[in-house]
Amino acid sequence: MGKYEKGTPKEIANRCKSKGLQKLRWFCQMCKKQCRDQNGFKCHLTSETHQRQLLLFAENPDTYLKEYSEEFENNFLKVLRSTFGTKRVRANEVYQEYIRNKMHTHMNSTKWHTLTNFVIYLGKSGKCHVDQTEKGWFISWIDQQEELRKQDALHKVKAIHDDEERLQQLLGEQAERAREKQQQSLEANTSHPTKLLRTSDDEKITFALTAKKPTVEELTKPSTSVLAMSYSIFDVKTERKTKSELELLDKPEKHQHKDNFSNGSTSKREIKDNYRKEHGML
């Protein structure tokens, strides 16, 4: 059956149909061909090109399934990120925006059979925030770069706090060691009385006084105490000598004074006797 001439109503109708989104069940992902109706899809399944693609898929089905699933996920997240950002929206709205592209990867060729399963997968993998309400499933994209920046900032703050805690711990340990050393030095300098332990009551108590033996230098060297004693004795002797000399000097003066006094008294008597004799004679 040949193509209709350009400009005819049938050709215009076919062109309008090809512009819009066709039914997903009439799309062949392996051949990337969209059929307009069920009859055309059956004809495509019996074609030679489709049979060859089926043989390739049968050889390694997991690889093709994984490839289509990754492609669908990446394109879906790209639409969500570029169109809605981190805003909370309905999952069906994002899907409708995604399937506007006529050559998009269809969900029936992926490992997710429904949109609900795909949304649950996005929530479990941590790529989107997912919540279910009466109106359906809602999703919001998680900015991984922003999350990474937040994590880096938290790691930096934690590292700073860890350094400060480590420094405080080291300072505390140093202060504790210094206090222990100071306490040990004080205990070593101060002597405490100890109890007398006796094994038996009849045991004798002996005291051993260990005197230090003087060396040859100490014996030959005069001690300061002996010199001090000799100086003190010499001072006493000199004091006594000076006192005795002063006494001796004072005694002649006293005797002389007494002699003078006695001489004076004798002269007076002689004068009286002479006077009496003279008057008696008169």
DSSP string of 156-222, one letter each residue? HHHHHHHHHHHHHHHHHHHHHHHHHHHHHHHHHHS----PPP-S-TTPPP-----PPPPPHHHHHSP
- pLDDT score of 261: 47
Q: Which pair of structure tokens corresponds to residue 167?
A: 């420094």
Of 268 and 204, which is predicted with more confidence? 204
Residue 98 phi, psi (nearest 5): -70, -40
According to DSSP, the β-strands at 89-90 and 136-141 are antiparallel
Task: Report the SS3 class of residue 236.
Answer: helix
Minimum mean pLDDT range among 4-18, 51-65, 197-211: 197-211
Over the stretch 39-62, which tens digit does the pLDDT of each residue have?
A: 888 888 888 888 888 888 888 888
Structure tokens that stand for 87 in this block: 């805003």
Contact 164, 171 (CB under 8 A): no
Query: Each residue of 9-41: pLDDT tens digit?
Result: 777 776 666 665 566 677 788 888 878 778 888
Could you list the beta-strand ranges (E) of the chain.
Answer: 27-28, 33-34, 89-90, 128-133, 136-141
- Residues 126-177 have pLDDT tens digits of 888 899 988 889 999 888 776 666 777 777 778 787 878 888 888 888 888 8
CB atoms within 10 A of CB 105: 22
What would the mean pLDDT of 66-94 be, rounded to a whole number? 89
Query: In the structure, what pLDDT confidence band is assigned to residue 227 with cuts at 50, 70 and 90?
Result: very low
For residue 234, the cross-strand partners are none
Is 94 in contact with 79 (CB distance < 8 Å)?
Answer: yes
pLDDT band at 240, cuts 50/70/90? low
pLDDT at residue number 86:
84
Q: Which residue in 76, 127, 85 sits closest to 104, CA to CA?
A: 76
pTM of the entire predicted model:
0.46
